[in-house]
Amino acid sequence: MDFTPTEDQAAARDLAARIFGDLSTHDRLSATGTATDATLWKALCSAGLVAAVTDVGLLGLVLLLEEQGRTTAQVPFAASCVYGLLAVAAHGSPEQRERLLPGIGDGSVVVSGALLAQGGVRAGARGGLSGTAPVVPWLRDATHVLVADDRRWLWLVRTADARCEPVELTAPWSAGRLTLDGTPAERLGGDDDGADHDRIDRDRIDHDRIDHVYADVVATARTAFAGLQAGVCAGSLARAVAHTNTREQFGRPLAAKQAVQLRAADAYMDTEAIRLTAYEAAWRRDEGLPYAAQALTAAWWASEAGQRVVHTGQHLHGGAGADLEHPVHRHFLWGRQLDAYLGCGSEVLQELGELIAYGEVET
């Protein structure tokens, strides 16, 4: 394994760091409130960073999302790249790729995902979707949603055709509730027989391929959001280190206290574990290797260790960390939201254990 960024990946990461650092400041975030920063999103798309993900791969996307997480930038970068750009590029039909990828790259098309709604959404006999996805991140910004039905088929739904209601989450993710009632949708990848999807003979579908597509998109999402969590944790820890080095107690910096050093060291190790497991999963996908178990491992670290790190970052700020207006509090909110979105650690660990127990882990 070699996680050294390529020249293109490093250039994209450095450009993203500069744009996020310049535009996702404390003052701008305070002024934005819980909404998406449209100016920042436009800047990222104009710089070609969204479109570049098709070239820099999932590892490149993880590097970009780390930079977003450091500043808790309020843009639908992860969602649109995972559920839109990478999903359509890997599994879309030629017509879908030609129609959707340019718009996703320039930001005029924003895609979110409702893959965790499995069992709550059903495809009707004529292809329309019905059901509810209670929480869809960045739904208020999305033009399309990638929806999984109860059989793990993936469908692209235009938000203009569905009912979308705002939902406020722990972190400002511009989320919403998606309600479908016979809503028209197109299957990701098109129809096997080339016919209109209303006339699909479901008994003729290759269900192994359907499961593979679903599993790949879910694993990609887990890996990408784990990378985002690595950035959130790194940003929280950086703020804590800066605070404890300048804040004095009894004439000495807080950072001189052994208890503070130990807490910071544990947080650093947790952050590195999240980062490295996300890198491994992303690298394996880019190399065409099985990576479902690695994606689950990254998700577990991001969930379990992520919440520890953001709690540490807030705790090391003392009373200031409890201030809702303090920058470190945003990292706390994002860390807890990502913990919830990836699934609690015990659930992720159970899924990983079942994968190993049934011999489905490939090397």
pLDDT tens for each residue of 270-298: 999 999 999 999 999 999 999 999 999 99
User: In what helix (H) or strand (E) does residue 157 lie, and over which residues does it extend?
Assistant: strand 154-158
For the cut 50, the answer to whether the pLDDT of residue 193 exceeds it is no
The pLDDT tens digits of the residues spanning 54-71 come to 999 999 999 999 999 999
Q: How far apart are CA 298 and CA 277, in angstroms?
A: 5
Q: Say whether 265 sits in a helix, a strand or coil.
A: helix
How far apart are the C-alpha atoms of 282 and 141, rounded to whole Å?
26
Instruction: Supply 160's token pair.
Output: 């203009």
User: Confidence band (pLDDT; 50, 70, 90) for 207?
Assistant: low
Q: In this prediction, what percent of the chain has a pLDDT beyond 90?
A: 73
pLDDT at 116: 60
pLDDT score of 56 = 97
Strand 144-148, strand 111-114: pairing:
parallel
pLDDT tens digits, 83-109: 999 999 999 999 999 999 999 999 999
Helix (H) or strand (E) run with residue 155 in it: strand 154-158
Q: How confident is the model at residue 217 (pLDDT cuts 50, 70, 90)?
A: very high
The residue type of 122 is R
Tokens of 246: 């300048």
Angle at 321 between CA 318 and CA 327, to 5 degrees: 145
Q: pTM value? A: 0.93
The C-alpha angle with vertex 341 and arms to 140 and 219, in degrees rounded to 5, equals 105
pLDDT of residue 347: 85
Q: Which residues contact 163 (CB under 8 A, 6 or more apart)?
A: 178, 179, 180, 181
